[in-house]
Amino acid sequence: MNLVTISGPPSSGKTSVILKTIAAMTGRGIKPAVVKFDCLYTDDDELYRKAGIPVKKGLSGSLCPDHYFVSNIETVVDWGLEQEYDLLVSESAGLCNRCSPYIKGIRAVCVIDNLSGINTPKKIGPMLKSADVIVITKGDIVSQAEREVFASRVQAVNPRAVILHVNGLTGQAVMSSVPCSTMMHIISPPSRGWSCVSACRQPSAPTVSERRGSARATRWVM
């Protein structure tokens, strides 16, 4: 099973991008599932369920959402392995700008939108700074100049990340600086042999079974 962590500020387009990406995988024999982490409220689980995607959700309440993520992700991974999913996507709203819901060696994708303001890339800390791939959404409602300025602010904060411009409404990738036409290539299980991860200058993501450590999750609320 391939685990991919997708994070980003609230309403940046994470669910839209994930839904479009998974829809693009239809017919390829991949069994995907999603886990949604949020702080106080989410109805994303309903959207995933409606799309026929198995989903779990966890709300951190008064805890730091990223610490809550760390405490629970292994339990979720166990669920994914038991159910024999090929791909487990974790969606987290970045509510704690000091931390990030990323795991060393597991592909980290940050979704940020063109409307969030040109200083937002500097404000959201490790969630953007340590991402392998940055997806910029909502380019359809800003000008070309605004898209370019925003992308350069993003790249200045994280020069090593691959940046993809994706329209969350259509799933189309535009202005990609890499030869990937859709997010599908970023999050697809490498074992299927059609991921263009290497073309994106990203190291091949190890599968979860390769990454399993000894630490155990302590808490999981659904």
Residues in 15-54 that interact with ligand GTP by CB under 6 A: 15-16, 42, 44
Please say whether the beta carbons of 220 and 76 come within 8 A: yes
Tell me how far apart the alpha carbons of residues 44 and 2 are, in angstroms, rounded to a whole number: 21
Q: Does 15 bind Mg ion (CB under 5 A)?
A: yes
**Dihedral of the CA atoms 97, 219, 132, 20 (nearest 10)?**
-100
How many residues contact ligand GTP, by CB under 6 A? 18
Distant-in-sequence, close-in-space partners of 48: CB < 8 Å, separation ≥ 6 = 15, 19, 34, 36, 54, 55
Measured from the CB atom, the residue of 111 and 205 that comes closer to Mg ion is 111
Residue 126 vs 195, nearer CB to ligand GTP: 126
Q: Which is nearer to ligand GTP, 10 or 52 (CB)?
A: 10
Contact 101, 46 (CB under 8 A): no
Work out which of 138, 158, 187, 197 binds ligand GTP, going by CB under 6 A. 138
Number of residues that bind Mg ion (CB under 5 A): 3
For 1, the enclosing helix (H) or strand (E) is none
Residues in region 39-58 near Mg ion by CB under 5 A: 44
86 binds Mg ion per the rule CB under 5 A: no
Please report, for the chain, how many H helices and E strands are present, in that order: 8, 8
The contact pattern for ligand GTP, residues 147-186, with x = CB under 6 A and - = no contact, is --------------------xxx-----------------
Q: Determine whether 125 is exposed, middle or buried from the number of CB atoms within 10 Å of its CB (0-12, 13-18, 19+).
A: middle
- What phi and psi, each to the nearest 5 degrees, are found at residue 181? -90, -25
Q: Which of 1, 3, 4, 13 binds ligand GTP (CB under 6 A)?
A: 13
Which pairs with CB-CB distance under 8 Å and at least 24 residues apart come from 141-150?
141/114, 141/115, 142/114, 142/115, 146/114, 147/114, 147/175, 149/118, 150/114, 150/118, 150/121
| 14 contacts Mg ion (rule: CB under 5 A) | yes
Q: Report which residue's Cβ sits closest to ligand GTP.
A: 168
Minimum distance from residue 14 beta carbon to Mg ion (Å):
5
Cβ proximity to Mg ion: between 13 and 200 the closer is 13
**What is the contact surface with ligand GTP in residues (CB under 6 A)?**
8, 10-16, 42, 44, 93, 137-138, 140-141, 167-169
Residues lying near Mg ion in the complex (CB under 5 A) are found at 14-15, 44
